[in-house]
Amino acid sequence: MLPPIDALLESLHVVRLPLATRFRGVTEREAALVRGPEGWGEWSPFLEYDAEEAATWLEAAIEDAWTPRPAARRERIPVNATLPAVAPGEVAAVLARFDRCRTVKVKVAERGQTLHDDVARVREVRTLLPDVRIRVDANGGWNVDEAETAIRALELLDLEYVEQPCATVPELAELRGRIHRLGVPIAADESVRKATDPMAVVAAGAADVLVVKVQPLGGVRRALAIVEAAGLPAVVSSALDTSVGLSHGAALAAALPELPYDCGLGTAALLEADVAAPLTPVDGSIPVGRVTVDEHRLAWHAASEERTAWWRERLVAAHAVLEAAER
């Protein structure tokens, strides 16, 4: 059952955490935490999301804080390093924050950059770590022609897969047909987590891999159902969560019957501060289990009164969406 709004507001803590390096245009991450009978849950929809979309993320936070997590099939989750769209000279310093990860996800198609910049960044990773697995993530930033050109240039550096190269499902399907002979799999992220029908990408034959994130999909149980229905291998990832949200993602990864790919749950390494002892990779993996939130860190990194009031209003609006859906 949906907790009353007063219980959520009473336990709400809003924090503002600095990033170690600029990531997708931001240098800080705002997040809200709520506490329920099972512990802390994270609610951190991106600031531009409306109440409808933020409500799905709230469902995930409520699930984690008010209900027990599913049984775990594994105790640790292998994770990838995440490399923002930095210059080649900055690659080594960023990757040094990730302890012995065997996979690197490289951000590409950054606004204001070129394919040359992307190739140089990926080539630097390959030079520094010759045996690492490399996947690239365009966040839907290319059209079909641009994506095909980019993949043909980047596949020479041995790609594990390319994540969300184009924005729409029809574009992904067309691109998949064009590059089939290259043997570079396509992973769908936004086409799953932002879609009204996450199965549309499967029905269209538009992806080889699903990227699933707990918060945007409304919780672990809903994500598990999507993966089961899709019948495709899954990669569990995060949305630059605090370690509370990352532990929720780890719970999903631990519950999956199979885990063929390293997961995108090592992003606490991109934060300069956290609300708990950071869930950063050790020997390329993170542990499964709840983290202990530090009350002193909550206070130290608390958002301003103005920002907290904004999040409280947002919480009321998202809760109203869930209340209406229950009627």
Per the annotation, where are the binding residues for Mg(2+)? 137, 163, 189
pLDDT of residue 164: 98
| Beta strands at 76-78 and 13-23: parallel, antiparallel or unpaired | unpaired
Q: Which of 69, 97, 105, 107 is catalytic?
A: 107
- CATH entry 3.40.50.1370 includes domain 5-69+295-326: no
pLDDT at 96 over 90: yes
Task: Kindly report, as residue ranges, where domains of CATH 3.20.20.120 are found in the chain.
Answer: 76-287
For the chain, where do the domains classified as CATH 3.30.390.10 start and end? Answer: 5-69+295-326
Instruction: Return the residue matching tokens 């029809």.
Output: 170
Q: Grade residue 59 by pLDDT with cuts at 50, 70 and 90.
A: very high
- Rounded to an integer, the average pLDDT of 189-215 is 93
Q: Is the pLDDT of residue 37 over 90?
A: yes
Q: Which candidate in 97, 213, 222, 319 is catalytic?
A: 213
* Binding site as annotated, residues: 137, 163, 189
Decide if pLDDT at 267 tops 90: yes
pLDDT value for 203 = 95
Strands (E) across the chain are located at: 13-23, 26-36, 39-43, 76-78, 81-83, 103-107, 133-137, 159-163, 186-188, 209-213, 234-237, 285-287
Residue 163's SS3 state is strand
Catalytic residue status for 107:
yes
Note the pLDDT of residue 115: 98
Which residues, 6+ apart, have CB-to-CB distance to 98 below 8 Å? 81, 82, 104, 266, 269, 280, 281
Class of domain 76-287: alpha beta
| Residue 282 per-residue DSSP state | B
Average pLDDT over the chain, rounded to an integer:
97
